[in-house]
Structure 1
Amino acid sequence: MTPTSLADWLAKLETMHPKAIDMGLERVAQVRDRLGIRFECPVITVGGTNGKGSTCAMLESILMQAGYRVGVYTSPHLIHFNERARLNGDIVSDADLVAQFEAVEAAREGVSLTYFEFTTLAILRLFAQAGLDAVVLEVGLGGRLDAVNIIDADVAIVTSVDIDHAEYLGDTREKIGFEKAGIFRPGRTAICGDPVPPQSLIDHAQAIGADLWLFGRDFNYSGDKQQWNFGGRSQRRNALGYPALRGANQLLNASAALAALEALRHRLPIGAQEVRNGLVMVDLPGRFQVLPGRPTVILDVAHNPHAAATLAQNLDNMGFHPYTFAVFGAMQDKDIVGVVRQLKDKVDHWCLTDLPLPRAAKASELVAKLAEAGVVPSSLPGSERTIASFATPAQAFADARSRAGENDRIAVFGSFLTVAGVMEALRSGGRT
């Protein structure tokens, strides 16, 4: 029976392919060709270990300030699947998605597709039919074999390269760098925002004849506490306000975004004020998002050691808080010990949570991982370090809220599901 609602479609797609992740482009490219998906407008793909979502959001905001019609595809979502696709800043409707799911189902003719492959094709077709001026596509996992890589981008950005998804991408930066560089194309702009790019990425770009832009060589930034400047190959952007997204790495992400727009300046001209407005107005939930009110609540989807190190630096930059509570949940396949080691000196009280996915680590498993990283509860009365376990992120957050003083802070981090669970709890409790 053919599903009729978005929820029914998504439920069907979760069980349609024997493997949740099935690397390779042959099947998805076959269905792309049957659907006739192609873009006449410039396409920017954004890959990397961390910083992809922020970079996509900045590109979207600047392009929209310049009056362009923009489609943006990101993943995963926080609360609603529709968040993955935005047209001109608006999340797409259920009806639009269902229509595209029906088209993909009709075109696949027995070709088995994963959830991600099927939904990627649907969103690409939606964008291809929308008469857009620019398309920004976040690469899901890796690059070379990710479903998004069936599109030949005009500009491809790799934001950063670090260890994550090692079972699919390799266990060194060199191996992962090669996989990320798979989104580069011969004769087209390839941008790397990582200040220390793996040699494998540089070598691959040179081998295929991509026009490689490296941070520190082809583009850079400088600044003080009030403003910053971007310098590219032939374009400077001076007296810029800091991006509305908080965090230590956001100027690296912003610089990569501005380098991409410089490379496309003849097709997508953008004025100085439009860049300034776009950076100031950019919004992306769950990326070092500091909520108003007390105690201070920080939402951050840091789920690997590289992102956790950035979160630790951002927490240090916030100034003094008597105690820090952590609401933390993670997937089993993540380097949980590596994440905890980055943050163990920043956190006094750990509120660990189960998550509603089979591949999520149980809170009891997280306790063992904390011990492996050297985090154990204090045994003295009036303990300065506690560890508690909960069945849901909402319960873990409620416990942290009940114990935190108004000058303390609560850092909610780890899996997207951890942040989403707390966001939903806050909304239902009347606080956003």
Structure 2
Amino acid sequence: MTQNIPSQSSSLDDWLCYLERVHPANIAMGLERVATVAQQVGLLNTSSKILLIGGTNGKGTTARCLETLLLAQGYSVGTYASPHLIHYNERVRINGKELADQYHVDAFNLLEQGRGETPLTYFEYGTLGALAIFKRHAVDFVLLEVGLGGRFDATNIVTPYASVITTIDLDHKEYLGDTRELVAYDKAGIFRENTPAIIGELNTPHTMTDYANEINANMYLSGTDFLFSEQTESFTWQYLDNLMTLPKPAIPCQNAATALTTLSVLGLLPETNIIKDCLASLQVEGRFEQLQQHPLLFTDVAHNPESARYLAHKLTAYKDKGFKIHALAAMLADKDKQGVLAQLTDVVDVWSLAGLDCFRGDTLENMKSAMDAVSNNKAHQGYTTVADALDAILPVQDDKTLVIVFGSFFTVAAAINYFKK
């Protein structure tokens, strides 16, 4: 692998192509390799306070909420998220903004020069590259989203100022196990001794709390240490004596409450008027994001049963207003398609299914099989691609139909690209 190595003058696309082929495995769990390289290039001695954010769903929305609230107080913030929707640059933000390609090229070149013979996966390069960029900018806070699980994820090489868990559900079962207890134990691996561990999950498995107690983490549990409740246009959050009624955000209230509790625990909660302004304007790409008004069309990255349940909840609010729900679903081959579709069959009136022509993308035939297994009395139309489906669906909808395009980040990206073109 010494030939065709990009240089500091190469393009970001050249670097990304190289990163995709330099390691034989797409996923290789473990911290030894990535920690070795981080140490060699000096990424672990940082002045930034790192918030490590894990969980099955809700990492991106919780991170965006934290980012918005910290920026509103004048702090500088670096945010690392994955995967991206359209461009790689989405994965790293400084003060809410994406960076020019050269910042990523410089970071990858630093890693390539410093890693020696230690192999890195695409995600490990990305994680270390983000840490290099954050150190270069000397940001006050780093919001680091865990990629997969927690205990052996590349992000877990850092020393967190606080660790945050959003939700716990079954996903990536081949790596994390097939019970919530196993998943929770793996995710609890991001906790540290005498360090805040804020848990937003509403039904936390004992394996997570047992581990937190075992290592003496400072644990804060949703439903016990902090509370929230939803109303039609607002939600209420309480931590200790702090009780607030706030605008209902465009993200799950559970994640907003987790973010607010995290900042409160750390003594970083802004004034109430700042919180209200931030929540009222909060929007995260691909999370029930509206792309069109006529007909009304939303897109969502929901790709496991838990996120599908939340999507069904959002759609039910529109169905109660008299909207017919037309769903277009396309998913990855390694996801629980039956489990996802089953969460939405009661609220969706018309189904369209599509294949995904991408890495790990599933075929139309497999989507149809999953739908038939869930409900053989639900009629559905099939299309080769998301774009083909939208070409057929959109011209025949009326203003009392809501179209929801969902199933993966790739599905959302296909919908966004369709409207851009």
Aligned residue number for residue 191 of structure 2? 184
Work out whether residues 355 and 367 of structure 2, in 8 Å CA contact, stay in contact via their aligned partners in 1: no
Name the amino acid aligned to 2:174.
E
1:13-412 equivalences under 5 Å are: 13-37=19-43, 38-222=45-229, 224-233=231-240, 236-243=242-249, 245-246=250-251, 250-265=252-267, 268=268, 270-318=270-318, 319-321=320-322, 323-376=324-377, 385-390=379-384, 392-412=385-405
Structure 1 runs not aligned, ≥5 long: 378-384
Structure 2 runs not aligned, ≥5 long: none
User: RMSD over aligned Cα, in angstroms?
Assistant: 1.5
* 3-state SS of paired residue (2:22): coil
Name the amino acid aligned to 1:330.
M
CA deviations on 1:105-147 (whole Å, 9 max, x unpaired) are 1111011110000111011111012121111111111111111
For residues 416 and 287 of structure 1, do their structure 2 counterparts lie closer, same or farther at Cα, with a shift above 3 Å needed?
Answer: same
Shift of 1:290: 2.7
* 3-state SS of paired residue (2:137): coil
* 3-state SS of paired residue (1:412): strand
Mapped to 1, the partners of 2:347 and 2:310 lie a distance apart of 12
Mapped to 1, the partners of 2:359 and 2:67 lie a distance apart of 34
Work out whether residues 292 and 298 of structure 2, in 8 Å CA contact, stay in contact via their aligned partners in 1: no
Shift of 1:351: 2.3
CA deviations on 1:173-214 (whole Å, 9 max, x unpaired) are 000000110111111000110111010000010011100100
Shift of 1:372: 1.1
Name the amino acid aligned to 1:407.
K
Mapped to 2, the partners of 1:272 and 1:128 lie a distance apart of 31
Mapped to 2, the partners of 1:49 and 1:341 lie a distance apart of 19
CA deviations on 1:33-76 (whole Å, 9 max, x unpaired) are 01111322321111111111110010011111111111111110
Shift of 1:226: 4.5
Shift of 1:353: 1.8
Mapped to 2, the partners of 1:323 and 1:58 lie a distance apart of 31
Deviates more, 1:291-300 or 1:96-105: 291-300
Counting matched residue pairs gives 413
* 3-state SS of paired residue (1:425): helix
Q: Percent identity?
A: 38
Aligned residue number for residue 381 of structure 1? none
For residues 393 and 292 of structure 1, do their structure 2 counterparts lie closer, same or farther at Cα, with a shift above 3 Å needed?
Answer: closer
Name the amino acid aligned to 1:105.
E
* 3-state SS of paired residue (2:366): helix
* 3-state SS of paired residue (2:104): helix
Shift of 1:330: 0.8
Shift of 1:9: 0.7
After TM superposition, the score normalised by the length of structure 2 is 0.95
Shift of 1:322: 5.2
Work out whether residues 351 and 397 of structure 1, in 8 Å CA contact, stay in contact via their aligned partners in 2: no
Work out whether residues 291 and 416 of structure 2, in 8 Å CA contact, stay in contact via their aligned partners in 1: no
Work out whether residues 13 and 114 of structure 1, in 8 Å CA contact, stay in contact via their aligned partners in 2: yes
Work out whether residues 66 and 271 of structure 1, in 8 Å CA contact, stay in contact via their aligned partners in 2: no
CA deviations on 1:303-333 (whole Å, 9 max, x unpaired) are 0011111111110012344532222111111
